[in-house]
Structure 1
């Protein structure tokens, strides 16, 4: 019995020393730098695990800062590569007996402030972290997200492309010439959007679009998930096509239906110059002014 007790005490002491040593490895990291936006064609961001936040800057420079805790001495790097500005964050490497364990809060946040004049291109490749964009503009924004939530608010861009494997997407009070969303798993929420062309493809998740402005084309296709849509103002020239194995409700002023089956509804408002196409294999469709 005494041998067992002594062995247990030794394990606790050794474990405590190892635990303390591991915790000491997680050090604070902070880095700041600014770049002239005129010398940047594309801002590229690669993240393994840290969050990324974009906000409007009050200067004509791109101001970047990274703050957090991680074992690596330089978990985040900023580098100018020709006309590209590359921001890269790599997750810590696991090693030893405790390498696979996480004690306390690890990781951090990368803050990117973009001038009001905007940027040419923003490209984000995210493995596991949340993304926020607030009151920024760019010619083109492309986001490839493996896992993490995305919140986009007050963004203006010609082309917005968001591809997500696992995580929710929220887009609010933003304008796009073209908006393309592809989602494997996760809900998609949009509110007060202006866009000539919108395309949403979802495998598993609900799609909610509220207070959208009538545009040239709006297409939503889901395999499993409800589709909810409302317009900021009643459409005046729209061709409507809605198909689902579940319920379909179309509450649109002036809609003249040419097909009113349970699983397929078609019709026109005015001259029908713009297109609305909604399709869900297993989900309800609800459209209103």
Structure 2
């Protein structure tokens, strides 16, 4: 017993020393650079664990600022590749006894300021970090998120595609001609969005859409999450279909129901030119003006 106790104490002491060394080895990292937008069409961002912040630039330059911790190599790199500006952040491992271990999330933030015009596409591949986009305007946005929360506000784009394995999405006060959201695990909150075509697919998570403007097509499909929907103004020309094994409640002015069953409801408002399709295997559906 005495030998076991001594060995345990030794491990604690060694671990404490190694952990202290691991913390001391981390250095502050800062990097800033600006690029003229005339030579850039696409932003491509690849992150492992750092947070991303996209904001509007007040000049005609793309300005990037990265702040965080580093080990022996720079964790964030910027470089041009033809018309692409590539921003990449890779995880680092400390050398020594605890080189392969991570104690909590140790990272930083990458700030990207985007000019109002000039950038065609923004592509983000994120492994484990939070993403914020505010007041930017581009042609197309593509976000492939493994784990992390996303906040979108004041964004304008022709197409927006957001896919996530694990994390919530908050999008508000934005415009997308076409908006496509795919979520495996995590809630989706959408407020005050204007879009002609919206499609939301969620496997495990609620979908809340508030104050949306009536568009050509709105489709929401969930497996286990509830669907809540409200319009900014009462729809005037809408074909409605809702199906669920749970409760369905449609409170829409001038809705003429052609079929009203326990598990599905069909109906029309006005000429029924636009489409609303809501389906859930195991979630309640609630729609109001």
For the aligned pair, the TM-score class normalised by the smaller chain equals over 0.9
d(CA) in 1 for partners of 2:33, 2:163: 29
Q: CA deviation at 1:80?
A: 0.2
TM-score (norm 2): 0.95
Q: In the alignment, what sits opposite 1:252?
A: 252
Structure 1 residues 15 and 255 mapped into 2: Cα distance closer, same or farther (>3 Å)?
Answer: closer
Alignment of 1:111-150 (within 5 A): 111-117=111-117, 119-150=119-150
For the Cα contact (< 8 Å) 1:214–1:235, is it kept in 2? yes
Whole-angstrom CA distance in 1 between matches of 2:174 and 2:45: 21
More strand, by proportion: 1
Measured after TM superposition, the shift of residue 126 of structure 1 is 0.2
Mapped partners of 1:241, 1:266: distance in 2: 5
**Cα pair 2:169 2:187 within 8 Å, conserved:** yes
Q: In 1, distance between residues paired with 2:104 and 2:182?
A: 34
Distance 1:166 1:68 in 2: 24
Question: RMSD of the TM alignment (CA)?
Answer: 1.9
What residue is the counterpart of 1:51 in the other structure?
51
Q: What CA distance in whole angstroms lies between the structure 2 residues aligned with 1:138 and 1:105?
A: 31
User: Whole-Å Cα distance in 1 between the matches of residues 167 and 205 of structure 2?
Assistant: 10
Tell me if the contact between 1:70 and 1:106 (Cα under 8 Å) persists in the aligned partners: no
Contact 2:187 2:206 in 1 (8 A): yes
How many Å apart are 1:8 and its aligned residue? Answer: 6.8
How many residue pairs get matched? 289
Q: Displaced runs of 4+ in structure 1, greater than 3 A?
A: 1-17, 100-105
Gap runs ≥5 in structure 1: none
Is the 1:50–1:110 Cα contact (8 Å) retained in structure 2?
yes
Q: 2:186 maps to which residue? A: 186
Cα distance in 2 between the residues matched to 1:117 and 1:105 = 35
- When residues 283 and 33 of structure 1 are mapped into structure 2, their CA distance, relative to the original with a 3 A threshold, is same
> Unaligned stretches of 5+ in structure 2?
none
Which range moved further: 7-16 or 254-263? 7-16
| 2:29 alignment counterpart | 29
Contact 2:57-2:63 at 8 Å conserved across structures: yes
Partner of 1:196: 196
Alpha-carbon deviations, 1:176-200, whole Å to 9, x = none? 0000001011000000000000000
TM-aligned CA deviation for residue 39 of structure 1:
0.9
Q: Compared with structure 1, are the counterparts of its residues 281 and 5 closer, same or farther at alpha carbon in structure 2 (3 Å cutoff)?
A: closer
Give me the whole-angstrom Cα distance separating, in 2, the residues matched to 1:2 and 1:214: 75
Q: Greater CA deviation, 19-28 or 75-84?
A: 19-28
Indicate yes or no: 2:165 matched with 1:165.
yes
Deviation at 1:117, TM superposition (A): 2.3
Farther-moved stretch of structure 1 (1-10 vs 153-162): 1-10
